[in-house]
Amino acid sequence: MRNSNANNTILFIEKKKEFENNRDNHNSKDNKIVIKDKNAKIISLSTYKRLKFKRHHIINKGEKHLNIDKVKKRVFLIVILALFLLIFATTVMRQRSYSSVPSNTFIAQNTKINTTESLTYKSIVTRVVNKYTNSSYKVYVSNLHQNGNLVYAQGYFDVPKEGNVHYDLILKNDSPTSLIINGNEYVK
């Protein structure tokens, strides 16, 4: 082991001179470190504190510094509150509209049709059914009643090989608004 370290002696005198040279070079450059990278910049601590103070002072004086997280939370809270109020308002309005029908608007009306009007409506029903079925079958009206200006007719017409085919017809001001035959609507 001693043989391996015999050639590696430390020259204390040379190390001392090298250390003194480094210290002298360091003092001669006014405590600034030489950096090989031109883009890098080292700022001393006192300069950094001054810059930080100026930046903070300018932000407080010139602009109001807004905390983005607080703004996001406030906007989110406002949106949620607005949606809640909208839903609440629509449900309240629906409940009022359903329950706000006054009882004095209901008036008893006679739904029966007199004989002269029933004959005219039966002829209109026969004409409409024959027109939309493209036939001249015998049309029977089994039920005829009126509700306001609407006249409802139910009945059937006789097809020779098929039997009775049922229909429903709604007339508004003597013109058809709906004709349903076997579940198919012909007038809409």
Can you give the pTM of this predicted structure? 0.44
CA-to-CA separations, 16 to 24, 26, 48, 96, 170, in angstroms, rounded? 12, 15, 36, 99, 118
**What pLDDT, on the 0 to 100 scale, is given for residue 147?**
84
Separation of alpha carbons 120 and 117, rounded Å? 5
Per-chain mean pLDDT for the chain: 76
* Contact in structure between 169 and 177 (CB atoms under 8 Å): no
Mean pLDDT (whole number) for 126-136: 87
Specify the residue for token string 């329950």.
99
Place of tokens 């009007």: 117
Mean pLDDT of 147-172: 88
pLDDT grade for 112, boundaries at 50, 70 and 90: confident
Weakest mean pLDDT among 47-51, 144-148, 183-187: 47-51
Confidence of residue 62 (pLDDT cuts 50, 70, 90): very low
For the cut 70, the answer to whether the pLDDT of residue 163 exceeds it is: yes
Distances (CA, A) of 111 to 96, 147, 150, 151: 30, 6, 10, 9
> If you average pLDDT over residues 58-86, what whole number do you get?
79
Indicate whether 85 pLDDT > 90: yes
State how far the alpha carbon of 106 is from the alpha carbons of 101, 102, 132, 135, in Å. Answer: 9, 8, 36, 42
